[in-house]
Amino acid sequence: MKKITTLCAAISALALSTGFAIAEADAPVLSIDGVVIATRAPAPEYLDIDEVISGWVFRTVETQALQMDDFDNPGMIFVDQALDDWNEVNGSEGKSCASCHTGGPEEFAGLRTVLPRWNEDAGAVWTMEDYINNSLVEHMGAEPWKVGKAQMNAMVALISLQSRGMPMNVAIDGPAAETWALGEEIYFTRVGQLDMACANCHIDNYGVMIRADHLSQGQSNGFPAYRLKNAKLNGIQSRFSGCMKNIRATPYAVGGPEFTALELYVASRGNGLSVEGPSVRN
């Protein structure tokens, strides 16, 4: 763990020293309980930008502060609830998550950084939600949880937390390439009555105000995100849904193949940024 922290610090120092010329460069460094979070990183070579920046950088000083201490982060309440679910027996097999994952949620350190990823057995790209539901159904004989709903978001937050500070590192090649390409296509396709693509706001206009909102790069490294707006944890695909509705487009299904492809693509745009989960946003 120590090694990873040092590495992240080095990455964020590097990113800072490249001196990005927008006002957000003055934002403080995000460090939570001694874990330094890389909120800026050099962009992966397949992107058309120089630097990737976490949504945290674009929030107000007050909102940023809520994420700098876990006691102030309202998202942590849900992480505690997920820990109860972790230990609770559920389903026909009489098992809890803890029955199989005897090392505790800590077993999953690093997992969040590589998701979504290709699952050979399933022959598809899987999100963390897919893995959780697979365990619920196949290993525990329980009902799957609804993707995007409270119980699921909380468990994703608990597992993501184990990777806090580690750099996102999803694979875009090999068997995942086709899904990634679909995600990329969705990201750049203009939709809805307002006829906009994700890229119009989150590539062309990040850093500027759109009415009262400070546009970020729309990164996913902070998800699930506790939003002050609705006072709960929000899954990444629900956020996609919200952005699509804002441009008056019909969202794809949360948990469906299109949004999973988009999730992989968006995650790849944040490779190098630290996992924050759960983050605080407005």
Partner 1 sequence: MKHITLLAASFSTALATATFAQEVTPADVVFSEYGAVEASLTGVAGNAENGASLFQNRKLGNCLACHVNSDMSDQGFHGEVGPPLDGVGANWSEAELRGILINSKNTFDGTIMPAFFVETAGVRTLDKFAGKTILAAQDVEDILAYLLTLTE
Q: Which helix (H) or strand (E) holds 78?
A: helix 75-87
Binding status of residue 7 toward ligand HEC by CB under 6 A:
no
Q: Which two tokens stand for residue 157?
A: 């937050």
**Looking only at residues 168 through 197 of this chain, which bind ligand HEC when binding is defined by CB under 6 A?**
196
Task: Give the type of residue at 271.
Answer: N
Contact of 223 with 279, CB cutoff 8 Å: yes
Distances (CA, A) of 282 to 59, 183, 212, 221: 8, 26, 11, 16
Task: Give the type of residue at 262.
Answer: L
Catalytic residue flag (residue 100): no
Of the candidates 89, 189, 230, 256, which one interacts with partner 1 according to CB under 8 A? 189
Binding status of residue 280 toward ligand HEC by CB under 6 A:
no
Binding status of residue 247 toward ligand HEC by CB under 6 A:
yes
Binding status of residue 196 toward partner 1 by CB under 8 A:
yes
Binding status of residue 64 toward ligand HEC by CB under 6 A:
no
How far apart CA 183 and CA 37 sit, in angstroms, is 26
Helix (H, G, I), strand (E, B) or coil at 264: helix
Residue placing its CB nearer to ligand HEC in the complex, 97 or 261: 261
Binding status of residue 225 toward ligand HEC by CB under 6 A:
yes
Q: Which two tokens stand for residue 207?
A: 């850093």
The length of the chain, given as a count of residues: 282
Contact of 188 with 198, CB cutoff 8 Å: yes
User: Which partner, ligand HEC, partner 1, none, binds residue 230 by CB below 5 to 8 Å per kind?
Assistant: none
User: Which partner, partner 1, ligand HEC, none, binds residue 250 by CB below 5 to 8 Å per kind?
Assistant: partner 1
Residues at the interface with partner 1 (CB under 8 A): 189-196, 200-201, 204-205, 208-212, 215, 244-245, 248-250
Residues at the interface with ligand HEC (CB under 6 A): 55, 58, 196, 198, 200-202, 210, 213, 215-216, 218-220, 222, 225, 239-240, 243-244, 246-247, 262, 266, 281
